[in-house]
């Protein structure tokens, strides 16, 4: 049995693996979020939509696109955590006890920028697969899995289509990485500086819950726009600005569609991701 050691450092791939494990658990919530963001009427609640999907398609329909969702984590989250962890020693010295939030946000922004670009193709397929079941049968793309989706999109629409919404995806990734990683790191540091917390699962849970709340508030508008751009049919939007204007036609709240299910989904996903990652660090990390 491997011996736990809280002083171990994470390996570059721990974040991606932890993200994949977490998103598998929370995928149904992500699917509901996508459905809420792509509807224009805004009259159907998440609970009603979940019941409707299960009645019409079966319970397994809530896992439509799970392969793309996991694939996205294995690209997007691996990249942003790897950049954050690998660059950290160059920005924050080993003996620096309380590094500033600014340094962490710099690392998170670089990690989010790289992760947003790397993860966009799988994100496009993820959004399309999740949204497929609400389309008429003759309009469905019917991707069997993430690799089929990537190949079909590149062949039928061109490789460029795999990067639909890359600007919003990258902006969202930068904001998300600041919320999920930089703020988690800072909150955890502040908690450990008190006499009430130690490097254990209670601290990891508390830090990740607070980080999830901040990340949701920071990223929701970019997330809504990213989802609509990625799910758009060819020619639906002339530009990113066209999508911004169209989304705002229903009012400012149009940019926050699906906020509650987004937090309900992001909260557990962030908590599970950090709990899994911290356990891998403690038990399987570098000495």
For the chain, domains (ranges, CATH) are: 14-284 (1.50.40.10)
Give pLDDT, residue 228: 84
* 221: pLDDT strictly greater than 60: yes
pTM of the model: 0.79
**What is the average per-residue pLDDT within 241-246?**
88
Give pLDDT, residue 282: 92
Query: Per-residue confidence at 4, pLDDT binned at 50, 70, 90?
Result: low
pLDDT digits (tens, 9 = 90+) for 167-176: 888 988 999 9
Longest CA pairwise span in the chain (Å):
61
Query: Per-residue confidence at 276, pLDDT binned at 50, 70, 90?
Result: very high
Give pLDDT, residue 41: 58
């Amino acid at each position: 049995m491997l011996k736990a050691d809280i002083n171990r450092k994470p390996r570059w791939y721990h974040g991606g693996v932890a993200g994949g494990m977490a998103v598998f658990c929370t995928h149904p919530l992500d699917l509901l979020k996508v459905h809420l963001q792509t509807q224009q009427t805004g009259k159907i609640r998440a609970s009603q939509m979940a019941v409707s999907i299960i009645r019409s398609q079966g319970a397994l329909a809530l896992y439509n696109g799970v392969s793309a969702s996991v694939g996205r984590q294995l690209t997007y989250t691996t990249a942003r955590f790897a950049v954050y962890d690998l660059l950290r020693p160059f920005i924050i010295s080993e003996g620096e006890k309380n590094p500033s939030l600014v340094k962490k946000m710099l690392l998170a922004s670089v990690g989010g920028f790289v992760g947003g670009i790397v993860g966009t193709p799988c994100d496009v397929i993820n959004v399309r697969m999740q949204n497929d079941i609400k389309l008429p049968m003759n309009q469905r793309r019917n991707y069997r899995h993430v690799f089929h989706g990537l190949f079909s999109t590149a062949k039928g629409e061109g490789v460029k289509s795999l990067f639909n919404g890359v600007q919003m995806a990258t902006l969202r990734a930068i904001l998300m990485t600041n919320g999920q990683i930089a703020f988690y790191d800072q909150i955890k540091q502040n908690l450990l500086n008190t006499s009430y917390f130690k490097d254990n699962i209670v601290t990891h849970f508390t830090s990740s819950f607070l980080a999830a709340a901040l990340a949701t508030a920071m990223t929701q508008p970019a997330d809504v726009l990213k989802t609509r751009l990625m799910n758009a049919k060819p020619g639906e939007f002339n530009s990113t600005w066209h999508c911004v204007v169209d989304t705002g036609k229903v009012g400012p709240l149009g940019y926050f569609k699906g906020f509650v299910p987004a937090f309900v989904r992001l909260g557990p996903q962030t908590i599970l991701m950090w709990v899994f990652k911290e356990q891998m660090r403690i038990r399987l990390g570098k000495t």
